[in-house]
Structure 1
Amino acid sequence: THPWLQYQLYRSYGDRRILEDQWETTRRLVDFLGAKSKGGVIDKGISDHESLDPKPAALTGTAFHFACVDLLARFARILGRKEEAEKYAVRAEEIRKVFTDRFLSPGTGVFGKGTQASQAFPLFFGLVPGPERKAAVRAMVRAVLEDHQGHLATGMFGTYMLLHELSRAGRAEAAYRMVNQRTFPGWGYMLERGATALWEHWAFSDDTFSHDHPMFGSVDAWFYQWLRGIQPAPGAEGLDRLVLRPCPVGDLRWVKAHHEGVRGRIVSEWALEGGRFLWRLVLPPGVRARIYVPAKGEEEVLEGGKPARSSGGLRFLGRRGGAALFEAGSGEFRFSSPWEG
């Protein structure tokens, strides 16, 4: 949590002072984890807390260990600590190898017992070897749609990772189905039981668990990052680089949202009207973004009523997974493309 919070704050605000102030504490934490590990493996901890599937403690603990070391190496690069950056980058790669050797069934993409969390953790932390990625995604989807009939079975950490990785893999429909379930377990089940705030546990409890607990609030991040479609780009500093990739899914017909970033207000509003996807974007000064417009072909995409490829301020980068990809700087954009569904 400690390194991850620093990473999120740095991406959002671009202020390296938190990395400088917390450097020694973070270094001591990482070294402590290394000393307590068994050849890089950490098999103790809360794992995916409140998961309904059996908790894969060693898998999640080792994935967290990798993430902490990898983040420390990144912080060292940002702070100009070249020797320490190299030292911890090497250690992170050592843990990566230990992780795949211990938990991956080669050729199957399956990690551990193939539960939702067992698949989402390595995908989220970039621990899946390239040739195994498609199979790993298939195993994750199977764990949702087949093993749990479209329901989640993850805990505090795995829920966020599962929603994110399903959407990143082009399976936002599966994530949307999971979020909209009204039967146990899920947020809809909480609502059906009269909840007015999030629970600590997926199941109802009248004597043990809190009924006003934020830890399953990660679905809110999914609303903003995938339905609204605004995410920090890799390497972002103070939201100076964004990835804009909305996911129109299910019976959802519109989304309106904005974010008050350190560089100004970021706006993303889209709607499905008259057989078209309509999307209004506002990017503040000092921001560059990669923009994924849902479309079968780039020639179908309009911006300001004109072909987007010839629109000023946009650079067409190619097609990516059912979308036309553009790059742009600050300004207001109004995209339109045909929509079937």
Structure 2
Amino acid sequence: ANLRNAKNTDLYTIKGTEQETWEPTFVYRGFRYVELTGYGYQPALTDFTGKMIYDNIKTVGTFETSDALTNQIFKNAWWGIAGNYKGIPIDCPQRNERQPWLGDRGAVAFGESFVFDNGRFYTKWLQDIRNSQKEDGAIPDVAPAFWRYYSDNMTWPGTILLITEMVYTQTGDVNAVKDNYPAMKKWLGYMKDRYMKDYILTKDSYGDWCMPPVTIEAGRGKSADKKYPSELISTAYYYHFMQLMIQFAKATDNNADVATFEALGHKIKDAFNQKYYNEKGYYGTNVLTDNIIPLYFKMVPEKQVDKVFKNIVYTIEVTNKGHLSNGLVGIQWLMRCLNDYGRPDLAYTVATKKTYPSWGYMIENGATTIWELWNGNTSDPKMNSQNHVMMLGDLLTWYYENLAGIKAASPGFKKIVMKPEMIAGLDHVNATYQSVYGMIKSNWKKTPKQFNWTITVPPNTTAVVYLPANEGDVIAEQNIKDLKLIKNENGRAIYEIGSGDYSFTVKKK
């Protein structure tokens, strides 16, 4: 039923010779199970070969931990991402859709880039988006614009900014910014002129798309194809895009635009807080995404940051009993928000849950890729793909940047920040990433008494390394050249190192 009217059928008339070989061409089918009938004998599994069709994009990242569930989620993510690379980043490979929805990949492309060498792939897709832009500046929700679906919202068309940021950050190619700058600026002007009133962006289409039903039973048999537009989300995104445009303007010497973006951003931020902030320490209706987005986008006044974050923590720990409750929009900022504001342990709790709603729940219920819906085993099958990647959100980004500790401090990883989080229950992470400068490696293991970490920093780059070490701990280094201690801070010995292979050991006092 979740194929809709896509007929997952190929017909072949045999010639009647003793042996025939055939495979369908110019088509692909998303499937997990195959039914075979009409045989006069019991066929063996070795009689058949299933071929996975995806773009020839090299895998550039590996990731393995001491946690079996985390490892399986990563494997599911690889299969889901690869299976939806079809010259364009499609939403799903099986039903009668298979379209390059912008919102889906805006949520996950950054994480994908740690696993696949997708810079050129997404650079090409950015061109597709530009080619789909109307003369007045409108950008569609699907590009190439096969459906001609221009609903005017911030979160789907705004993917042009998010993908541009990803390509520039991960590859260092400033042409990604130069090529898309006029289109991004034109679209933002289009949205402002038509839908901004008193610095609130009044147009949205999807809200936090596909939020999980409160319970698994509450969503049983029900369609997830419901839209709850949110001016809070659209306004917050417009503000965030102003901050990105400031970065883009500076990177491309469009310095005359910087003051304009800064001034508009300040006015949007003030209007947003005046309209949506509640003195009890939350935004909007106090759902998780309403608080995460302004906090991660740095829209929250400094004096209110602690109150808002406490509300986020309370929602997850108490209301949700350690679970997430985000849809597509909120899930792309959740893990980094928790990490950046001091709760990587809570992010890990969310990431390793096996009960609904969670990535682990998908695994526990037999998923081999990533579901479209958190309740993919009970929802109405008409919109219920079993191979979507949008709900990965920023999970893969968090895996690499915060668990492995591999993060670009400047475009293209010319400068690297290596700061793995030490979380109870996670004792080992081994990750590699083939950057444009070469291989980056982070392999750490901890026990109650010792921490071991081997690092590879590629040629012509430098790294700032945050070694988990308290005063009195004994630090031993091997193969260390030009080691420079910057400072000791918050339980970290912070060093700057150049390219090479390094080994650190910290013995706890």
| TM-score (normalizing by structure 1) | 0.90
Indicate if the aligned counterparts of 1:176 and 1:250 stay in contact, CA closer than 8 A: no
Query: How far did 1:152 drift?
Result: 0.4
- 1:206/1:264 Cα in 2 relative to 1: closer, same or farther (>3 Å)? same
- Name the residue aligned to 1:38: 197
- Report if the CA contact (8 A) 1:293-1:323 is conserved: yes
SS at match of 1:213: coil
Query: Which residue type is aligned with residue 261 of structure 1?
Result: S
2:241 corresponds to:
68
Match of 2:465 among 258, 275, 291: 291
- Cα deviation 1:130-182 (Å, max 9, x = unaligned): 22222222121111101100000011231231111111222111111111111
Q: Identify the residue that residue 211 of structure 2 maps to in structure 1.
A: 51
More helix by share: 1
SS for the counterpart of 1:165 is: helix
2:400 alignment counterpart: 224
Aligned equivalent of 1:89: 262
The answer (yes or no) to whether the contact 2:414–2:462 under 8 Å persists in 1 is: yes
Say which one has the larger Rg: 2
State the partner residue of 2:499: 330
SS at match of 2:413: coil
State the identity as a percent: 26
User: Structure 2: how far apart are the matches of 1:157 and 1:338?
Assistant: 42
Contact 1:56–1:118 (8 Å) recurs in 2: no
Q: Quick check: 1:229–1:245 contact (8 Å CA) kept in 2?
A: yes
SS in 2 for 1:32: helix
Q: Write the distance in 2 (CA, Å) between the matches of 1:252 and 1:220.
A: 16
Task: Output aligned runs, 1:110-125, within 5 Å.
Answer: 110-125=282-297
Q: Which runs of 5+ in 1 are unaligned?
A: none
- Deviation string, structure 1 residues 185-234 (Cα, Å, up to 9, x no partner): 0111111211111110100236121010011223222211211111222x
Q: Is the contact made by 2:469 and 2:492 (CA closer than 8 Å) also made in structure 1?
A: yes
* Residue identity opposite 1:253 in structure 2: D
Aligned pairs for 1:15-26 (under 5 A) are 15-26=173-184
The reply to whether residue 134 of structure 1 matches residue 306 of structure 2 is yes
Following superposition of structure 1 onto structure 2, how do residues 275-290 of structure 1 map, counting pairs within 5 Å?
A: 275-290=449-464
On the 8 A contact 1:272/1:339 being kept in 2, the answer is: no
- Normalised by the size of structure 2, how large is the TM-score? 0.62
Whose strand proportion is higher, 1 or 2?
A: 1
In 1, Cα distance between the equivalents of 2:482 and 2:292? 37
2:284 and 2:168 mapped to 1: Cα distance? Answer: 33
Q: Judge conservation of contact 2:432–2:442 (CA < 8 Å) in 1.
A: yes
Unaligned runs of 5+ in 2: 1-158, 215-227
1:304 alignment partner, SS class: strand
User: Which residue matches 1:249?
Assistant: 423
Separation in structure 2 between the aligned mates of residue 131 and residue 216 of structure 1, nearest angstrom = 32
Summarize deviations over 1:260-315 as a string: whole Å, max 9, x none.
10111111110114721111111112322222222222x52524169xxxx64233
Q: Which residue of 1 aligns with 2:440?
A: 266
- The residue type paired with residue 145 of structure 1 is E
- Read off the aligned partner of 1:226 and give its amino acid letter: N
Q: Secondary structure at the match of 2:495?
A: strand
Change (3 A) 1:199 1:57: same
Provide Cα deviations, 1:56-96, integer angstroms capped at 9, x if missing partner: 81221111111122212221111111211221122122212
Q: Distance in 1 between matches of 2:242 and 2:229?
A: 20
Deviations 1:231-277 (A, max 9, x none): 222xx221112221112323222111111101111111101147211
Give the whole-Å Cα distance in 2 for the aligned partners of 1:11 and 1:301.
Answer: 36
Deviates more, 1:26-35 or 1:113-122: 113-122
Query: Retained in 2: the 8 A contact 1:53–1:115?
Result: no
**In 2, distance between residues paired with 1:116 and 1:315?**
41
Corresponding position of 2:361: 189
RMSD of equivalent CA atoms = 2.2
Instruction: Give distance in 1, aligned partners of 2:282 and 2:408.
Output: 29
Distance 1:116 1:319 in 2: 34
User: What CA distance in whole angstroms lies between the structure 2 residues aligned with 1:324 and 1:16?
Assistant: 33
C-alpha distance in structure 2 between counterparts of 1:134 and 1:313, whole Å: 39
Q: Which has the higher contact order (CA 8 A, sep 6+)?
A: 2
Q: Identify if the C-alpha distance between structure 1 residues 29 and 66 changes in structure 2 by more than 3 Å, giving closer, same or farther.
A: same
* Structure 2 counterpart of 1:214: 389
Quote how far apart the aligned CAs of 1:52 are.
Answer: 3.1
Looking at structure 2, the residues matched to 91 and 102 of structure 1 have their Cα atoms a distance apart, in angstroms, of 17
- Higher mean alpha-carbon deviation, 237-246 vs 182-191, is at 237-246
1: distance between equivalents of 2:468 and 2:439?
23
- Tell me, yes or no, if the aligned pair for 2:199 and 2:268 is still in contact at 8 Å: yes
Read off the aligned partner of 1:216 and give its amino acid letter. Answer: M
In structure 1, how many angstroms separate the alpha carbons of the residues matched to 2:208 and 2:482? 44
- Relative distance call for 1:123 and 1:322 in structure 2 (3 A) is farther
Q: Which secondary structure does the structure 2 equivalent of 1:265 belong to?
A: strand
User: Aligned with 2:407: secondary structure?
Assistant: strand
The match for 2:337 is 165
C-alpha spacing 1:324/1:118, structure 2 compared with 1 (3 Å): farther
